[in-house]
């Protein structure tokens, strides 16, 4: 990809994670796009979610939830969906469950079907600033992201 494909220093503000999942694209997309399914697996190792708003991913939908740590600490989260292209892409803002979260970032998840029936899931987080991206990486976002993707894989392996 050419460097000019990223306007305004976007590449310095982005975190990208990818994982091949041994399931068809429509199955993987369904696990992400229905909150009742997603919150069965969506959490890093040792954490769980307490969901305050359920629904299907659609533009304008808001999912609110707390990530709950092993010691009971709660981290309020909010996702507001901007774009949903079934079996292809989800785009949403993700941040703290407050209206004025300066660290809110844009997440784009793509689902690419391989010829062998597996799906490549790619997560792109676009942070408001390079400094925010660095803080997020320092917090462990890459490791947490991969732990969450591993939860997706375990969920799909155990689902009928």
Q: Is the pLDDT of residue 152 over 70?
A: yes
Say if residues 67 and 95 touch (Cβ distance below 8 Å).
no
Bridge partners of residue 124, in order along the sequence: 16, 108
Q: How far is CA 2 from the centre of its chain?
A: 25
What letter would DSSP give residue 8?
G
What the chain holds in terms of domains, given with CATH numbers, is 14-158 (3.30.530.20)
- pLDDT for 2: 39
What letter would DSSP give residue 7?
G
Q: Is pLDDT larger for residue 50 or for residue 5?
A: 50
- pLDDT for 160: 67
- pLDDT for 7: 58
pLDDT in tens, 15-68: 999 999 999 999 999 999 999 999 999 999 899 999 997 899 999 999 999 999
Beta strands in the chain (DSSP E): 14-21, 48-51, 62-68, 74-85, 89-96, 105-113, 119-126
- pLDDT for 54: 82
- pLDDT for 3: 43
pLDDT in tens, 73-109: 999 999 999 999 999 999 999 999 988 898 899 999 9
Buried b vs exposed e over 103-141: b needs ≥16 C-beta within 10 Å?
ebbbbbbbbeeeeeebbebebbbbbeeeebbeebeeeeb
């Amino acid at each position: 990809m050419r460097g000019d494909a990223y306007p305004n220093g976007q590449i310095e503000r982005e975190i990208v994670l990818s994982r091949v999942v041994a399931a068809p694209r429509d199955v993987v997309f369904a696990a992400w796009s229905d909150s009742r399914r997603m919150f069965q697996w969506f959490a890093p190792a040792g954490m769980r979610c307490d969901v305050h708003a359920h629904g299907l991913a659609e533009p304008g939908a808001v999912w609110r939830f707390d990530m709950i740590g092993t010691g009971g600490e709660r981290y309020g989260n909010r996702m507001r969906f901007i774009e949903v292209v079934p079996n292809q892409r989800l785009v949403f803002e993700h941040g703290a469950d407050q209206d004025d979260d300066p660290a809110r970032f844009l997440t784009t998840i793509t689902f690419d079907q391989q010829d062998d029936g597996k799906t490549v899931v790619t997560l792109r987080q676009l942070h408001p600033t390079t400094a925010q991206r660095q803080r997020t990486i320092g917090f462990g976002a890459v490791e947490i992201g991969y732990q969450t993707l591993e939860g997706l894989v375990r969920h799909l392996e155990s689902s009928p």
